[in-house]
Amino acid sequence: MREAEPVERAVGMEYYASDAAGVGGRLRDRPEDFRVTEIEAFDPEPVDADPGAYPHVLLRATLSGWDTNDFASALSNALESSRERISWAGTKDKHAVTTQLFSVADADPEAVAAVDLSDADIEVLGRTGRPIFFGDLAGNAFEVTVREPERPETVDAITADLRAFAGDDPAGDGDTDGPVTVGVPNYFGQQRFGSHRPITHEVGLEVVRENWEDAVLAYVGRPSEREPEETQTARARVEEVAAGSRDWQAALDALPGYLNYERAMLHELVERDASEPEDFRAALETMPSNLQQLVVNAAQSYVFNEVLSERLARGLPFDRPVAGDVVCFTDSDAPADLAVPDTDRLQRVDEDRVDTVTRHCERGRAFVTAPLVGTETELGDGEPGEIEREVLDEVGIEPADFDLPGEFHSTGTRRAVLVRTELDIERDPLSFAFSLPKGSYATVLLREYLKVDPAELG
C-alpha cells in the first residue's frame, strides 16, 4: 500500500487508494485552471414576489480570483448594506473560477443586479423567504487542469486502481475513453486542518480533553517551517514564555499584527493574568464562534481520517459493507444525477443483511459510514467497530468527551467512507471533470492522480 506525503499522514490520511505512481504537476497556476460550479438545491420565488414574505434576494455570482468572504464584504459595501445581511451556500477558494449562490436580506434586486465588481458576474435569480445556508448546497462540479505533469502516462493505471476501488471495474482494464466511475476514500482534505500549518485538529483534540492551556498554546505556538520566518520566530517566543516566565505580555509583544486571533488570545491572558484553566478557556473563546466549532470539527475529522486509514490497512472494502458496519441511504431530495448520503437514515448491518445491503451499495442507494464522533455517536460492531474504538483509544478520547461548554459541544454524526464520481479525463492539456456531493473534497480525488506535496494542490 502506497504511503501518503508526511504532511498528509499528520492529519490522518495515511495512504493512497492507488498504488500507481502519480502524474506530478501543479494545480491552480491561474484561476481558470480550477473551475467550481455549485450544484444548486434551492428554488427561489420570482423577483417580483412579495418582499414582505420573501425579503432575501438570491443571486448567482461567477467569480475569478475572489475569496468568498472578501466578495461578500465587497458586495455589502457596494450595496451600502451590513455584511451580516449576506449569506452563501459554500465557501470557495480564492485561486479558482467559482459559480456560487448568495442571498442578500432586504435588498433591491435592481441594485444587486447593477453591482459592478471586477472579475465578478452577478445574476439575480429571485427572492426567498430565508437566507441561503450551507445545507442548501447539493454538491459541486469541477473542471481542473494539471500543468506540467511529469508522468502523464500513469493516468490509466491510476484510473484502473480507482475504478476497482469504487467497485466499478473489477477486471481493471483501465479503459478511460469517455466517463468512468472512480472512487476514493472520503477523507477530509488538507484544507480542513490548515494547508500550511495543519494544527487545527491538534487544538481541537486538546479542547476535547479539556486541556485548555495546551489548546491555546497549540494555536498560538507550534511554529511550522511552512510559515514565514517572522511568524515562526514569534510562535517560538510564545512557547519559550509559556515554559518559563509566563509573561504573557512579552509573548503578545512578540506577535506580528497580522496574527489577529493569536493576539486576541494572548491579550485575554494578559488581562486575566492567566494561571487557571478557565483563563485559557476564556482565551480560546475570543475566537469567533464558527472557529470554536471548527477546531472541534477538525478533531472529529482527524479521527475519521484515521479510521479510514486503518480500514485501508486492514483491507476492508469501502464500496460495500461487512458485518458490523453502519450504512446510510441516499438523500431522496438530491438532484437525480448526484448521489448524496443522508446520514439521518442509518442502519446497522449484521451477517444476515450483508448481501442485501451490498446490492443497495452497488446501485448507489446506500453508503458505508464511519463516525464523526460526538456525544450521540453510536459506534459500529464487529471489525469496523473495533477499528473505531482502537483509533479513539489511541487518540485518548471517547464520545462523552464532546459534552463541552458553549460552541465546543458536538453531538456528532456519521459520514460516508467512500466518494464515487463519474470522471471525464482529457489529455492535452491533462484535465479532469467530475462532481462531488457537499462536504467532499476535490483535492482528495486529485491527490490520487498527482501524488505531490499538498502545497502543490492549492
Query: Average pLDDT in the 106-124 region?
Result: 96
- The pTM of the full predicted model, rounded to 2 decimals, is 0.93
Please give the single-letter amino acid code of residue 146.
V
Question: What is the separation of C-alpha 455 from the centre of its chain, rounded to a whole number of angstroms?
Answer: 16
Catalytic status, residue 93: yes
Judge whether 353 and 303 are in contact, CB under 8 Å.
Answer: no
> How does DSSP classify residue 44?
P
Q: Which fold has domain 291-416?
A: Pseudouridine synthase (3.30.2350)
Cβ distance 373 to 412 under 8 Å? Answer: yes
pLDDT in tens, 334-343: 887 888 999 9
CATH no., domain 212-287? 1.10.1510.30
What are the percentages of helix, strand and coil residues in the chain, rounded to 5?
40, 20, 40
Q: In the chain, pLDDT over 90 holds for what percent of residues?
A: 87
How far, in Å, CA of 337 to CA of 207, rounded?
40
pLDDT of 272:
96
Check residue 101 and give its pLDDT: 96
Element (H, E) at 345: strand 341-348
Domain pair 33-139 / 291-416, same fold: no
Higher pLDDT, 450 or 172: 450
Instruction: Give the start-to-end residue ranges of the domains of the chain.
Output: 6-27+146-186+419-456, 33-139, 212-287, 291-416
What is the third-level CATH fold of 33-139? Answer: Alpha-Beta Plaits (3.30.70)
Q: Which of 93, 161, 169, 331 is catalytic?
A: 93
Averaged over 115-129, what is the pLDDT?
A: 97
Q: How confident is the model at residue 135 (pLDDT cuts 50, 70, 90)?
A: confident
> What confidence score (pLDDT) does residue 175 get?
56
Q: Give the pLDDT confidence of 246-294 residue by residue, as tens digits.
A: 999 999 999 999 999 999 999 999 999 999 999 999 999 999 998 999 9
